[in-house]
Structure 1
Amino acid sequence: MAASSHSIGIDVHAVSHHFDLSGADLPVLDSVDLKVEPGEFVALLGPSGCGKSTLLRLIAGLEPPAAGAILADGQPVMAPDPSRILVFQDPTLFPWLTVRKNVAAGLEARGVLARERHRIGQALALVGLERFADAYPHQLSGGMAQRASLARALVHDPSLLLLDEPLGKLDSLTRLALQDELVSLWQRTGFTALLVTHDVEEALLLASRVIVFSDRPARIKAEFAVDKPYPRHRDDTELVHLRREILQALGLSLS
Structure 2
Amino acid sequence: MVNSKALGLEFRDISHGYTLRDRDLPVIDDVSLRVEPGEFVVLLGPSGCGKSTLLRLAAGLELPRDGHIYADGHLVTAPAPDRVVMFQDPTLFPWRSVRKNVALGQDISGKRDPAAINETIRLVGLEEFADAWPHQLSGGMAQRAALARALVNKPRLLILDEPLGKLDSLTRLTMQTEIARLWRERAFTALMVTHDVEEALVLATRIIVLSARPTHILSEITVDLPEHRHRDDPHLVNLRRDILVRMGHDTNW
Please tell me the TM-score bracket, short chain as reference: over 0.9
Distance 1:72 1:212 in 2: 22
Q: Which residue of structure 2 aligns with residue 211 of structure 1?
A: 208
Q: Does 1:122 align with 2:123?
A: no
Give the ranges of 4+ consecutive aligned residues of structure 1 lying more than 4 Å apart after TM superposition. none
CA offset digits 1:23-57 (Å, max 9, x no partner): 32111111101100000001100000100000000
CA offset digits 1:124-144 (Å, max 9, x no partner): 011011110110110000000
Instruction: State the Cα distance separating 1:118 from its structure 2 match.
Output: 2.1
Q: Which residue of structure 1 aligns with residue 80 of structure 2?
A: 81
Q: Which residue of structure 2 aligns with residue 156 of structure 1?
A: 153
Letter in structure 1 aligned against 2:226: P
Q: Which residue of structure 2 aligns with residue 38 of structure 1?
A: 37
Secondary structure, in 3 states, of the residue corresponding to 2:159?
Answer: strand
- Report how many aligned residue pairs link the two structures: 252
Q: Which residue of structure 2 aligns with residue 51 of structure 1?
A: 50
Distance 1:250 1:82 in 2: 34
Instruction: State the Cα distance separating 1:5 from its structure 2 match.
Output: 3.1
Please point out which of 126, 139, 144 is paired with 1:142: 139
Instruction: State the Cα distance separating 1:119 from its structure 2 match.
Output: 1.4
Secondary structure, in 3 states, of the residue corresponding to 2:14?
Answer: strand
Q: Which residue of structure 2 aligns with residue 184 of structure 1?
A: 181
Instruction: State the Cα distance separating 1:230 from its structure 2 match.
Output: 2.0
Distance 1:118 1:20 in 2: 46
Distance 2:18 2:173 in 1: 35
CA offset digits 1:73-114 (Å, max 9, x no partner): 00001110110000000101001110001011111112212x
Letter in structure 2 aligned against 1:134: D
Distance 1:5 1:107 in 2: 20
TM-align CA RMSD = 0.8
Distance 1:112 1:21 in 2: 41
Secondary structure, in 3 states, of the residue corresponding to 2:125?
Answer: coil
Distance 1:23 1:68 in 2: 24
Where does the alignment leave 5 or more consecutive residues of structure 1 unmatched?
A: none
Q: Which residue of structure 1 aligns with residue 110 of structure 2?
A: 111
Q: Does 1:171 align with 2:168?
A: yes
Instruction: State the Cα distance separating 1:245 from its structure 2 match.
Output: 0.8
CA offset digits 1:189-217 (Å, max 9, x no partner): 00000110000000001001110000011
Q: Which residue of structure 2 aligns with residue 6 of structure 1?
A: 5
Distance 1:60 1:122 in 2: 25
Distance 1:88 1:225 in 2: 25
TM-score normalised per structure 1: 0.97
Q: Does 1:94 align with 2:86?
A: no
Distance 1:23 1:100 in 2: 47
Secondary structure, in 3 states, of the residue corresponding to 1:17?
Answer: strand
Letter in structure 2 aligned against 1:249: R
Distance 2:224 2:251 in 1: 23
Distance 1:3 1:172 in 2: 30
Secondary structure, in 3 states, of the residue corresponding to 2:164?
Answer: coil
Q: Which residue of structure 2 aligns with residue 68 of structure 1?
A: 67
Q: Does 1:220 align with 2:212?
A: no
Distance 1:24 1:133 in 2: 49
Q: Which residue of structure 2 aligns with residue 19 of structure 1?
A: 18
Letter in structure 2 aligned against 1:187: R
Letter in structure 2 aligned against 1:190: A
The answer to whether the 8 Å contact 1:244/1:253 transfers is no
Distance 1:188 1:23 in 2: 49
TM-score normalised per structure 2: 0.98
Secondary structure, in 3 states, of the residue corresponding to 1:176?
Answer: helix
Where does the alignment leave 5 or more consecutive residues of structure 2 unmatched?
A: none
